[in-house]
Structure 1
Amino acid sequence: MSRAIKHLLIGVLFIMTTGLTPATASESDRKLTIVNPQNLYDPTPNGYSTAVITPPNARIAYISGQGGQDATGSLSPDFAAQVKQAYANLTTALTGIGARPDQVAKLTVFVVDHDMSKLEVLTRNVVKVFGETLPAQTLVPVPKLAIDPMLFEVEAVVVLD
């Protein structure tokens, strides 16, 4: 008998003799806990939360940076258009892994030549995608991204279950 089959049989016997069954998480067991302490600045008007606690034993997915390219690879020179498209791309990536926006625990956004005028565009798009379930978020000003016309990129950490 092969070693793999022996291990499988031992596992089955263990489950049968102990009465253990695989745990299934309920919807509430998979929810993220949003934390915005009262003694800190309230970040929600700016489209993020101070902290997000993931459920115990959660599977985590990491979504690579999504830029503002459309499905053909075209990239608008307009910052607002790139941000809108990048969040549409992020939503498509979430759907691709069977996740929803309320499962995103953390975003990191990269903004080329960041200034305060860009915050309204960023906040509007985050709130449109995430509603009241705002993930933790870090904005990183950068001089440039992977390709010169890129002005914005967003990456995500997602709790799958």
Structure 2
Amino acid sequence: MSSAIKNLLTGEFIMTMGVSTPTTANETDLKLTIVNPQNLYDPTPNGYSTAVIVPNGARVAYISGQGGQDSTGGLSSDFAVQVEQAYANLRAAIEALGAKPDQVAKLTIYVVDHDMSKLEVLTSNVKAMFGKALPAQTLVPVPKLAIDPMLFEVEAVVILD
């Protein structure tokens, strides 16, 4: 690790998340590093981390926004059902890449007509999928998404190796 990064991380809570890398001799070279500075609000109870450092030389995949459509294209009108299905869809996309949730560095979520009542649904779903390996995350309230009945969408940045 460079001295600049070491200086940046001084006084901050740091957690390293494992990334499965069967082809590398030094497994520690390909781990995501979570950074939650002590002088900032602790975001982990809300299901995200302040920052994630991607290892040098890692390949990155970008997963398009996953909505709450089931495998037939059906879409529930219930927000909680859409969120749960969207995370199931995201997990399927991650696994199709040969990756695991602890390899996700960043999420961007879009919520139609967001209000504080939706946070518990969002937080419980992200914690269920990621456990303690919480990626960096941004929530963007939007007036609508690509399909009118869509209420939620999640996209991800995944570190492959």
TM interval, shorter chain, is: 0.7 to 0.9
Any gaps of 5 or more consecutive residues in structure 2? 1-22
Matching residue of 1:74: 74
Please show how residues 6-155 of structure 1 align to structure 2 within 5 Å. 24=24, 26-155=26-155
SS in 2 for 1:36: strand
RMSD of equivalent CA atoms: 1.0
SS in 1 for 2:38: coil
Relative distance call for 1:157 and 1:25 in structure 2 (3 A) is farther
Number of paired residues?
139
What TM-score comes out, normalization by structure 2 length? 0.85
Q: Which has the larger radius of gyration?
A: 1
CA separation in 2, counterparts of 1:43 and 1:139? 13
What TM-score comes out, normalization by structure 1 length? 0.85
| Percent pairwise identity | 79
Relative distance call for 1:109 and 1:55 in structure 2 (3 A) is same
Any gaps of 5 or more consecutive residues in structure 1? 1-22
How much has 1:28 moved relative to structure 2? 2.2
Query: Where is the strand percentage greater, Structure 1 or Structure 2?
Result: 2
Query: Where is the helix percentage greater, Structure 1 or Structure 2?
Result: 1
Relative distance call for 1:75 and 1:57 in structure 2 (3 A) is same
CA separation in 2, counterparts of 1:74 and 1:121? 20
